[in-house]
Amino acid sequence: MFKALGDPVRLRLFSLVASHAGGEACVCDISDVGVSQPTVSHHLKKLKEAGLLTSERRGTWVYYRVEPAVLASMGHLLTPAAP
């Protein structure tokens, strides 16, 4: 889990998904974190494999949301990034 969040891009992606309205974020919403979109997808897949995110396809778009248990464990650790 620490290894999954060790990469700055992944930490940013996780923080973005966690702080997005409704608790979920489409890939198209978070495609400007400084890397190309295939890389974003790659990192999201790693986060999903680590059990931190779950993905759900609704029509054309894919929505990611954080695993609730992880959110509970994080608690105030993420607060500086999720106001």
- Enumerate binding residues for DNA (CB under 7 A): 6-7, 9-10, 26-28, 31, 34-46, 55, 57, 59-62
Given 31, 36, 39, 73, the residue binding a copy of itself (CB under 8 A): 73
Regarding 3 and contact with a copy of itself (CB under 8 A), the answer is yes
In the stretch 10-39, what mask flags binding to a copy of itself with x, by CB under 8 A? -x----------------------------
Q: Closer CB to DNA, residue 27 or residue 78? A: 27
* Closest to 63 in 3D by CA, of 1, 6, 21, 32: 21
